[in-house]
Amino acid sequence: MQAPPESLDPASFGPFRRRVLSRGSELYRDLPWRRTRDPYAVLVSEVMLQQTQVARVDGRWQRWLSRFPSVDALASADAADVLEEWQGLGYNRRALALWNAARAMSALGGSVPSGQDALVRLPGIGPATAAGVRAFAFDLPGTYLETNVRAVFLHELFAGMVDVPDREVARCVAATCPQDAHDPADDPRTWYYALLDYGAHLKRTVPNPSRRSKAHVRQSRFEGSHRQKRAEAVRILLAAGAGGIGLEEAAEALSSAETGAGRDPLSPEDVRAILDELAAEGFCSAEDGRWRL
């Protein structure tokens, strides 16, 4: 392990970069989305992999592309179909954001942009996701500060330090990323795959370095949470179909799910608040006392 060099000259990171590339080569994971450079397919994988384990995405990514094979195909789909296909991946907001991003791209010609600024202007696409798309689809440099990437930098360059701010890690990430794609053994795509695979290995073999990040937040418990109730409400709306569902029926269905899990039933007022919240975020619409996707 080594401390971050005082100079952020890329040459000063030589030993660190050689170690990461070596470990990345040894630990390389031949994941399905790494066998394509199609920008849309890469974007879908990057969104799916946010806060979701690789094992859960493998299979679901392929199925999504079979159902929505292009930007235009996704843009023309109904929101209900998009949410239905997303079930089981968690964080339903990501599905709607990806759908809205596709609609925005379709309106501009149907292509995924390669520019960082153009990508982050799309719904739900933050700087890290944009940098991932640029690296893996276009082999362009960027600051891809993802959780496994963060783990490598904290383990190798910030050993023993706690509450390390992301701005310090990001400076090192930017300085170490190759600036061109002339060397296929050390281009942005290869470099970030190496970081991802080494970081995943570290999380399995040493105390998670990411816990020493100032940005680290322990994930809240899902079961029984408000997020879990929202997810169940979306499933109830999907099951209701085009006819929608009234408040009493929704309250009965959601309360049944809660009591079946050993929790207290919900009042109609609580269920209305959840449905109104989902409607305000674009998940569903409310008309004449019925909610529908």
Do 54 and 98 belong to one domain?
A: yes
Residue 46 is among the residues annotated as catalytic for this protein: yes
Q: Are strands 290-292 and 245-246 parallel, antiparallel or unpaired?
A: antiparallel
Do 109 and 93 belong to one domain?
A: yes
Of the chain, the percentage scoring pLDDT greater than 70 comes to 96
Alpha-carbon span 152 to 201, nearest angstrom: 10
pLDDT at 1: 47
Boundary-marking domain end, from 113, 138, 163 = 138
Do 97 and 42 belong to one domain?
A: yes
Range of the domain at 249: 226-292
Do 249 and 176 belong to one domain?
A: no
Question: DSSP of the chain, one letter per residue?
Answer: --PPPSS--GGGGHHHHHHHHHHHHHH----GGGG---HHHHHHHHHHTTTS-HHHHTTHHHHHHHHS-SHHHHHTS-HHHHHHHHTTSS-THHHHHHHHHHHHHHHTTS----SHHHHHTSTT--HHHHHHHHHHHH--------HHHHHHHHHHHSTT--SB-HHHHHHHHHHHS-S-SS-TTSSHHHHHHHHHHHHHHHHHHSS-GGGGBTT--PPPP-TTSHHHHHHHHHHHHHHHGGG-EEHHHHHHHHHHHHHHTT-PPPPHHHHHHHHHHHHHTTS-EEETTEEE-
- What CATH number does the domain containing 97 carry? 1.10.340.30
Inside any domain, residue 22? yes
Domain count for the chain, please give it: 3
Inside any domain, residue 2? no
What are the tens digits of pLDDT across the range 227-283?
Answer: 999 999 999 999 999 999 999 999 999 999 999 999 999 999 999 999 999 999 999
Do 174 and 101 belong to one domain?
A: no
Boundary-marking domain end, from 156, 187, 212 = 212
Asked if residue 5 has pLDDT above 90, the reply is no
Residue 215 burial (10 A CB sphere; 0-12, 13-18, 19+)? middle
Do 282 and 231 belong to one domain?
A: yes
pLDDT at 219: 63
Annotated catalytic residue, options 46, 146, 156, 258: 46
Inside any domain, residue 218? no
What are the tens digits of pLDDT across the range 52-81?
Answer: 999 999 999 999 999 999 999 999 999 999
Average pLDDT over residues 71-99: 96
Do 199 and 167 belong to one domain?
A: yes
Boundary-marking domain end, from 212, 238, 261 = 212
Do 258 and 282 belong to one domain?
A: yes
Do 147 and 205 belong to one domain?
A: yes
Whether the model pTM is above 0.85: yes
Residue of higher predicted confidence among 123 and 7: 123
Q: Which two tokens stand for residue 193?
A: 């795959």
pLDDT at 140: 97
